Amino acid sequence: QLTGNMASTSKAPVQSRNLPWVEKYRPQTLDDLISHKDILSTIQRFISEDKLPHLLFYGPPGTGKTSTILACARQLYKDKEFNSMVLELNASDDRGIDVVRGPILSFASTRTIFKKGFKLVILDEADAMTQDAQNALRRVIEKFTENTRFCLICNYLSKIIPALQSRCTRFRFGPLSPDQMIPRLEHVIQQESIDISPDGMKAIVTLSSGDMRRSLNILQSTSMAYGKVTEDTVYTCTGHPLRSDIANILDWCLNKDFTTAIVDNLLHFENLAIILYKIKSICCPFFQVDFPPNIRMVLLIKLADIEHRLASGTNEKIQLSSMVAAFQAVRDLVVSEAS
Ligand SMILES: Nc1ncnc2c1ncn2[C@@H]1O[C@H](COP(=O)(O)OP(=O)(O)OP(=O)(O)O)[C@@H](O)[C@H]1O
Ligand SMILES: [Mg+2]
């Protein structure tokens, strides 16, 4: 089972045609990675001085943590030693203490056939490990430091017990900036000969907020479903309301009288939660709508309440009316303050 997992992500260049692009364009070497140059050069130096410490990579999804350690492993080991020198465990494997006492311990404790160098244990998604397992791992790491290096990967650093954190050199993988994502997306666009408009690119970058995996997935699904990648097709494909829809909804709420017709209109839209979020973010930072601050506050609190109720799974239709009513109430406030 363990070797099965290794094969899925760690093989040398992938050629298959029907592979998801996130795998097809997974960086194969450290040089292929487009971000975190400081982290990469530090790790390169560790490797070239043969002083690799235990590593702990953390940060949001799709920022290159798994790709980085796999590229390191590929640089450290030849293809034929890979399976005997690298143990990769990810979320699909069991995360209890038995894994530490079983596969990890037996891998770390057996001597290497290739005398030189250390073995590498990659614990992807280590934040899913139980406390017991983490505590047990602590001793295993210590005991086999001589011939084994560990690399822990997680999204949430706080879920790793301090005793493990202190045994590792930590690296934070932050979200990728648009400057980093765009050239990589352009590379894929060129390789796959995709028809994309500038606003389509912008929409992908906005919606993926620094997550390279998400940006590639949106690019692939939109171009497969709609052919041309534009702002509209990207928003439609990802189930986001169009910008013009949001403008319309806001216009209804702010300028039309409260009637059931507004609610009926709104019911044509899917994904009310996203609509609310968008409207809140329009109303929030640069309040394009000119309400006095105290009234803005009332509106935001009302919208936040609705969001909260939506998140806890209430009827969308009722919350929709609630949103229209919130705007209406706020407009009444504006009128009464003015008089
Ligand atoms: N820094 C990067 N440079 C180039 N491609 C990247 C980078 N980061 C992510 N990608 C792309 O996104 C995909 C997912 O990256 P990866 O699996 O390394 O993310 P991760 O940080 O491990 O995410 P998660 O926390 O969800 O496991 C890769 O296959 C690659 O196509
Ligand atoms: Mg990963």
Does the fold of domain 243-338 match that of domain 178-238? Answer: no
Task: Look at residue 287 and tell me whether its pLDDT is greater than 60.
Answer: no
Distance 79 CA to ligand 2 centre (A): 21
Please say whether the dihedral angle defined by the alpha carbons of residues 76, 78, 79 and 84, taken in this order, is positive or negative.
negative
The predicted model gives 325-331 an average pLDDT of 86
Taking the CA of 208 as reference, the closest ligand is: 1
Band (90; pLDDT cuts 50, 70, 90): confident
* Cα-to-chain-centroid distance, residue 67: 14
The pLDDT assigned to 6 comes to: 41
Ligand 1 — pocket residues by CB below 6 A?
22-23, 25-27, 33-35, 61-67, 155, 173, 184, 212-213, 216
Task: Look at residue 12 and tell me whether its pLDDT is greater than 60.
Answer: no
The Cβ of residue 112 has, within 10 Å, a number of other Cβ atoms equal to 14
Q: Where are the domains of the chain?
A: 36-172, 178-238, 243-338
Band (1; pLDDT cuts 50, 70, 90): very low
Identify the CATH class of 178-238.
Answer: mainly alpha
Q: 33-82, pLDDT tens digit by residue?
A: 988 889 999 999 998 888 899 999 999 999 999 999 999 999 888 888 88
Task: Look at residue 275 and tell me whether its pLDDT is greater than 90.
Answer: no
Distance 221 CA to ligand 2 centre (A): 21
Find out if CATH 3.40.50.300 is the number for domain 36-172: yes
Determine contact, residues 195/227, Cβ cutoff 8 Å: yes
Q: 124-149, pLDDT tens digit by residue?
A: 999 888 888 899 899 989 888 888 99
Out of 29, 63, 152, give the residue to mutate to test ligand 1, the one with the largest number of ligand atoms within 8 Å of its CB: 63
∠ CA 160-164-169 to the nearest 5 degrees? 100
The strand pairing partners of 281, in sequence order, are none
Range 137-142, long-range pairs (CB < 8 A, 24+ positions): 137/100, 137/104, 137/164, 138/163, 138/164, 138/167, 140/100, 140/104, 140/105, 140/108, 141/54, 141/167, 142/167
Q: Select 243-338's CATH number: 3.40.50.1220, 1.10.10.10, 3.10.20.30, 1.20.272.10.
A: 1.20.272.10
